[in-house]
Amino acid sequence: MTKEYIADWFQGLQDRICQSLEAADGVGRFHEDHWERPGGGGGRSRTMGNGAVIEKGGVGFSVVHGEATEGTLRQLGLTGREPGPLPTFFATGVSIVLHPHNPMVPIIHMNVRYFEMSTGHNWFGGGIDLTPHYVVDEDARWFHSQLKAVCDAHNPEYYPKFKPWADDYFYIKHRKETRGIGGIFFDNLRPESERSDASEHKQELFAFVQGVGESFAPIYTHFMHQNRDLPFGEREKQWQLLRRGRYVEFNLVWDRGTKFGLETDGRTESILMSMPPQANWTYNFQPEPDSEEARTLSLLRKGVDWV
């Protein structure tokens, strides 16, 4: 299984997800933008604006390669290398963020990726997390049950490991709150080179990543269909803008993917397509006691057992 084969599959995943989202939205259409990275490789950024459900969304595919800088190696945790020429890297994947019009439809993010170094290191990473503007217990349980089913189909140890990893990763440290209700997050899934079946092990890991990728469209279109027509008013829209502000804070301050993309001279427009169309910051905003906004804040914490 070559890196080119993996990249081709990711490109096809982008096609399938875009088709499903367009069908579910009914109005919005993705516009494609091809780009090239000066150091090697490029990608296809597909964005949607002002759909019936999706106010702004991006589904990006990239396959980039080139010489790894010292900064890149630090981002990847590959420090302490032997003196000599810098190694080269190959990275490919699909990254998605969708911001809906209706505050009752959640924000969603997914990333699935593969890295390969000329040093012989290679690994998979990714995950899915959900950021409701208002946390609804039934929706949160359904979302996590879907992810647990994907994990259990490949390894029953995955969900108990990757769910807390998401809680820790998607955490806004300076706010002491999680970005949303989490999901799963994994990184450095690599074939064990000392195993006699290392090639088969890599196939197994890729099959899991494929399962995560293919689960995205059914999960999110479920919420699109279920919540798109729920009523809301100005209060809920203002709350949505505040929660989008928190989303921006995490992505710009803490997200390693953003930092990696900028460190490797990735395309800025593609890296920052996760930003919402509008966001607000209100000084020292405090929700009313016993309100739905206060209840949501009380659930934005690590360790909530949704399944």
Active site residues: 109
Residue owning tokens 């593609």: 270
Contact 85, 119 (CB under 8 A): no
- The string of DSSP letters for 21-66 reads HHHHHSS---EEEEEE-TTSEEEEEEEEES-SSEEEEEEEEEEEEE
Contact 88, 65 (CB under 8 A): yes
* Both structure tokens of 216: 């995205």
Distances (CA, A) of 113 to 8, 179, 189, 249: 12, 21, 10, 23
* Both structure tokens of 215: 């689960």
Cβ-based neighbour number of residue 29 at 10 Å = 12
- Beta strand pairing call for 41-49 and 183-189: unpaired
Contact 276, 244 (CB under 8 A): yes
Burial bucket for residue 236 (CB in 10 Å: 0-12, 13-18, 19+): middle
Distances (CA, A) of 126 to 96, 129, 135, 150, 169: 11, 10, 23, 13, 12
